[in-house]
Amino acid sequence: MAETARLPSAGTKADRSVGPSLRVTNILAVALLALMGMLLFTSVRQESQTFDESSHLFAGVEYWKHADFGRNPEHPPLAKLLASLPLLSMGLKEPPVVPIPYFKGQDFVNSSQFLYSGDADAILLRGRLVIMLFSLALGLLVFVAAREMFDPLTALLAVGLFTFEPVLLANGALVTTDVPLACLFFASVYTFYRYVKKPTVARLAVCAAATALAIVTKHSGLLILPTLVLLACVENFMGWFGRVDGIAPGALDRWPRLRRFTLALTVIGVASYALLWAIYGFRYAARPGELQMIPTLANYAAGLKHPLQQAVIALMARHHLLPEAYLYGWVDILLIPGMRSTFLFGHVFGTGQWFFFPAVFLIKTTLTLLVFLLLVPFARVRDRRRELLFLAIPVALFLGVAVASMLNLGVRHILPIYPFCIVLGAAAAGSLVRRSVVGRVVVAALLVLTVVSSMRSFPDFLAYSNEVAGGPSRTYLVVTDSNADWGQGLKWTKRYLDQHPAPECWFDNYNPLVPVSYYGIQCRPLLTGMGHFIGMVPPGTMPSTISGVVLVSATETSGILWGPDTLNPYAIFRDRQPDAKIGNVVLVYHGSFDVPLLAAQSKATAAAGLLRQHRFPEAVALAQDAVQLAPDSAEVNAVLSQALLASGREEEGKQANARALRLAQTIHPDYQRHLVEQLLKPSGGS
């Protein structure tokens, strides 16, 4: 077919001779991917569990054993099923279900019990090796796609950039859905590109399979469908903008192509819908048998702010158009923007910000890749119009939706744009190499910079930021959570304490559900932001002054889990230069520190727990102690109000409620808006 004719690669014949032979290129690509595998393996072996990994592994086991898709419904099952498959032969015991009336709380507690009742390191490693295979498969796809779209030199540059990109090294072996989605999303677009060039049933089948697998990996995988539709539209009408594959615009028969694309996209959509139901066992109910989700889907969706969102979820549920667990995941995603705060450039925002994802992309991406992307419009690759569009459109659409979503959860959530950016950047770099000796020197220097920059953060690639952003040692000051400290530093912390023994130490661990004693850490625990959120208080009395060695999670000092400045009980540590940094994510301080707000929050959180047990007098006494320590804390006063009202002391409770409301409305009201809403209820939020 004339349609499949290809233009020669950019540049002259002499230009195309630049670079190693195809055989040498293939050997070097394999060597680079082997090196990446080694980097992933050696780095992840040194990391403790990151926040989501236990939930994904436990959920996968529950899927295999009981088809209980109510476990961790935030994501579709595919990646979790594959990551947990090697665990089935280990004879692991399932923990008893904890009596927590909230499915996410049950999942977090049970998954931690599941992981740490056995050999957690061995369990994690098996799951991580599966995800590592997705990373290497993605690297191979990047190489093959770049070679087909451009030339072997571009392919080699692409796999080199891929191997040393810290965002990929950071997430490439963690048990999450991010890397599998990036792999399958890229595979879907690339196989659609091949189908467009040569439409055959076999190529369409491969594309349909890749697309369907992407959709059952993560909810954002659904974006592959509008991506393919947009690519088909652009491909069909591309002739309006100039020659395509050497054919004049007038020679393009658009309507037959449009019918073919419509049929192909229909096949892809039907296959995706069928696989989505198949992976949930063709069952609507999230849980098997008589097991029920708490809260119900209707009650969970009632928290959505937009009536249209509620109506769509209700319609899907009423007619069983999508599996219930899948709908729970969508509700969870839609709830996040109104619930989570954002930390960026040292500032805490009460809600998501549109500029978050562009900013973290600029912070977390190597300067080399950023420079190459800036050079794409000036590179001699403009004759590759189809290829450029197939690489640029997925990036624009995915990033555009991410920006609009306000889901400020971490750079890992835009991981699917990286392989496209890398191939684009490699194409620009290849153009520079062919252009002149100076271009070759510049590209070589930038590649060396990438290697040096990336290795600076080994083995903690999660904490990477580029040199303009301050480098790995300062990442936590500009962005945090899964972009820096995600709980991965416990093994390094143990090593530090062994080398610097302390008779008295305190530890604020990012994830309170992880038993630090498993790693041999014997420090006294401090209340964490996550522990405060889920009501998990360390045992014992929390004094208002602590002394000795204090280890604090970098995420904690940011205030993202507490609020800015006066709302953050760890602000005292953020404003002080640490005496040491462990893996650039655990901050070490020596001395004596007054922490009245932290002590107050510990008592208030404990008082809230006593309220749930209907131990009202004890709750009132503890809440009163908390207010004495932090009289200007709206949240602490709110807990006292609840305790007094529950004890029948209505007048005192109303007074405490009024005081809490006044404080919440005057001290960072943008961050305390949910507390204000609770306090404005007739019961004072009790």
Give me the numbers of helices (H) and strands (E) for the chain, helices first please: 30, 7
Contacts 24+ apart (CB under 8 A), 674-679: 674/339, 675/634, 675/635, 675/638, 678/638, 679/634, 679/638, 679/641
pLDDT for residue 18: 66
Average pLDDT score over residue span 641-667: 95
- CA 310 remoteness from chain centre: 25
pLDDT band at 374 (very low <50, low <70, confident <90, very high): very high
* CA–CA dist 301, 328 (Å, integer): 8
| 146-168 confidence digits (pLDDT tens) | 999 999 999 999 999 999 999 99
Contacts 24+ apart (CB under 8 A), 464-472: 464/166, 464/167, 464/170, 464/364, 465/363, 465/364, 466/363, 466/364, 466/365, 466/366, 466/367, 466/370, 467/367, 468/367, 469/362, 469/363, 469/364, 472/584
Least confident stretch, 296-310, 334-348, 454-468: 334-348
pLDDT for residue 80: 98
Asked whether the bond before 152 is cis by omega within 30 degrees of 0, the reply is: no
Which of 457, 424, 429 has the alpha carbon at shortest distance from 443? Answer: 429
Q: Decide: 684 and 642 in contact? Cβ < 8 Å.
A: yes
Q: Decide: 135 and 40 in contact? Cβ < 8 Å.
A: yes
Evaluate if residue 338 carries a pLDDT over 90: no
DSSP annotation string for 625-674? HHHHH-TT-HHHHHHHHHHHHHTT-HHHHHHHHHHHHHHHHHSSTTTSHH
The residue written with tokens 């920059």 in the block is 453
Mean pLDDT value across the chain: 92
pLDDT band at 427 (very low <50, low <70, confident <90, very high): very high
Evaluate if residue 334 carries a pLDDT over 70: yes
- CA 377 remoteness from chain centre: 30
- Cβ neighbours around 199 below 10 Å, total: 17
Evaluate if residue 344 carries a pLDDT over 90: yes
| 281-313 confidence digits (pLDDT tens) | 999 999 999 999 999 999 999 999 899 999 999
Q: Decide: 33 and 159 in contact? Cβ < 8 Å.
A: yes
What interhelical angle do 254-279 and 201-215 show, nearest 10?
A: 40
pLDDT for residue 54: 97
Q: Decide: 478 and 345 in contact? Cβ < 8 Å.
A: yes
pLDDT for residue 253: 66
> What would you measure as the largest C-alpha separation in the chain, in angstroms?
89
* CA–CA dist 595, 385 (Å, integer): 60
Structure tokens at 585: 């994510």
The residue written with tokens 């969970």 in the block is 300
Structure tokens at 631: 């009289």
Bridge partners, residue 586, by sequence: 553, 582
* CA–CA dist 501, 259 (Å, integer): 72
Which of 449, 356, 355 has the alpha carbon at shortest distance from 409? Answer: 356
pLDDT for residue 14: 43
Q: Decide: 512 and 536 in contact? Cβ < 8 Å.
A: yes
- CB neighbour list of residue 167: distance below 8 Å, 6 or more residues apart: 364, 365, 411, 412, 415, 418, 461, 464
pLDDT for residue 11: 44
Three-state secondary structure of 34-79: HHHHHHHHHHHCCCCCCCCHHHHHHHHHHHHHHCCCCCCCCCCCHH
Dihedrals phi, psi of 551, to nearest 5 degrees: -105, 125
| 83-108 confidence digits (pLDDT tens) | 999 999 999 999 998 888 899 989 99
- CA 268 remoteness from chain centre: 27
pLDDT band at 36 (very low <50, low <70, confident <90, very high): very high
Q: Decide: 442 and 374 in contact? Cβ < 8 Å.
A: no
Dihedrals phi, psi of 520, to nearest 5 degrees: 85, 15
Evaluate if residue 252 carries a pLDDT over 60: no
Evaluate if residue 16 carries a pLDDT over 80: no
Evaluate if residue 246 carries a pLDDT over 80: no
pLDDT above 70 coverage of the chain, percent: 94
pLDDT for residue 17: 56
Q: Which residue type sits at 488? A: Q
CATH, domain range 600-679 = 1.25.40.10
**Domain boundaries, given as residue ranges, for the chain:** 53-128, 482-594, 600-679
pLDDT band at 5 (very low <50, low <70, confident <90, very high): very low
Q: In angstroms, what CA-CA distances link 142 with 39, 129, 245?
A: 18, 20, 22
pLDDT above 90 coverage of the chain, percent: 83
If residue 343 lies in a helix (H) or strand (E), which one and from where to where?
strand 342-344
- CB neighbour list of residue 666: distance below 8 Å, 6 or more residues apart: none
